[in-house]
Structure 1
């Protein structure tokens, strides 16, 4: 602004002009921008595409803050260990994750989960000769004559799938799907529906894929909450606004639609 344009301004008027100028959109956005970190290798929940964060979790965060006009979000994708480390140090503002005791030490979390990962599904092939048994089972005991495919090193599966079931280990989800569909090395595995359908589409097994929701798998519900670094000066304000948004019927409607689009 040219200096001569200010000559006729009184001090109070100059101050008023400055205040209005600072609150205009785009002028003081730094304090209202929140940077969220996501894992770069956790599809369909989050991954990197052309250096952009894509997947259900970035979409969930974007949807949430579209209902909070006071904040904008920026998304970065990094290895998950680095994402947590950066939030701990306040280098990144937020994440979407399970609020473990360790994470609650460095982040404030929303009261309710934005998403609940549900491991209560049996994943199997439509060509499996034991399909009748899989689809009628009401307990793991009913499946005791079958073979379950597990992920090598998975503590959750060790804790929640009975030891009397014969196991075939796979290196990761892709190898587990090949063992199930191509090699027919096992009868089923236990995974969230989103994961199973995503991998099946990638590997060309969608037509043979069957997913059954069951209620006998323990500890199957894993809640994911929005967390904001305790080092962020407005952490509590952000979480309070997230909690308020989650009470909105319109938000809940859009949230459910978004989640179902990944299932």
Structure 2
């Protein structure tokens, strides 16, 4: 009888242990099931702003999408889905809520519907582009401030918020769809000057477009404006956008060497 009671006690202990193991396993499974998935953010990019962002065979390429990915990869909280469009359309996608964010200069117009992070992803400086044989080349080269642009015909690409805010009040800008159109108009002297907002972009264009821009020249003019910051921004209608931007800055500040 003693042996029977001992066997029954052992079986009861085994059953209790088994039930405990099942309970622990269930808790673990529930914990795993409750883990939050990374939040997807649809980020729009200018398809024609190299080397910062551009379309490469249907994929967003360049400094900015790479930097955003690097920052977000430091946490499993967010993941960026990158898309490209003509710049004006890209911004409209955010305005109507079909995309979430971008990287851009925080112009007054953009601030109406986009909140921006604190730390710039990049800063850019100005230059002037004009025809090599322009009859007023000496006058263009002697421009000493943005106010001097009122003497000339100026061309720019739709969606340039900095030019719209800083140059449009000084002189009427002829807006076109692409940099190709800008260079063509300059070469044919149908306009006088283009204020390129990035030396890196100008150098990239001149290096890659070759013969297509052989009749225009580029002049670095960082003295015409303080450096222009490009920030990461999210639409204000996105739930929790301020929290996401604060977290983005925290992740960015962990390693500013990128």
Q: Please give the range of the TM-score, normalised by the shorter of the 2 chains.
A: 0.5 to 0.7
Structure 2 residue 245 is matched with structure 1 residue 233: no
Unmatched segments (≥5 aa) in structure 1: 1-6, 255-263
Which residue of 2 is the match for residue 150 of structure 1?
154
Count of matched residue positions in the alignment of Structure 1 and Structure 2: 228
Distance 2:75 2:180 in 1: 38
Distance 1:235 1:107 in 2: 9
Q: Which residue of 182, 195, 198 maps to 2:201? A: 195
Superposition TM-score, scaled by structure 1 size:
0.62
Superposition TM-score, scaled by structure 2 size:
0.63
Unmatched segments (≥5 aa) in structure 2: 1-17
Distance apart, 1:107 and its partner CA: 3.3
User: Relative to structure 1, is the Cα distance of residues 131 and 110 closer, same or farther in structure 2, using a 3 angstrom cutoff?
Assistant: same
Question: Secondary structure of the residue that 1:243 maps to in structure 2?
Answer: helix
Larger radius of gyration: 2
Q: Which residue of 42, 56, 65 maps to 1:58? A: 65
Distance apart, 1:194 and its partner CA: 2.4
Distance 1:194 1:222 in 2: 13
Once the two structures are superposed, the pairs formed by residues 1-263 of structure 1 within 5 Å of their partners are 10-11=22-23, 13-23=25-35, 28-29=36-37, 31-118=38-125, 120-123=126-129, 137=142, 139=144, 150-151=154-155, 155=164, 156-159=166-169, 173-177=179-183, 189-192=194-197, 193-204=199-210, 210-215=218-223, 217-218=224-225, 221-248=227-254, 250-251=255-256, 253-254=257-258
Distance 2:92 2:24 in 1: 46
User: Relative to structure 1, is the Cα distance of residues 241 and 14 closer, same or farther in structure 2, using a 3 angstrom cutoff?
Assistant: same
Question: Secondary structure of the residue that 2:120 maps to in structure 1?
Answer: coil
Distance apart, 1:213 and its partner CA: 3.4
User: Relative to structure 1, is the Cα distance of residues 198 and 13 closer, same or farther in structure 2, using a 3 angstrom cutoff?
Assistant: same
Question: Secondary structure of the residue that 2:43 maps to in structure 1?
Answer: strand
Question: Secondary structure of the residue that 2:229 maps to in structure 1?
Answer: strand
Question: Secondary structure of the residue that 2:82 maps to in structure 1?
Answer: strand
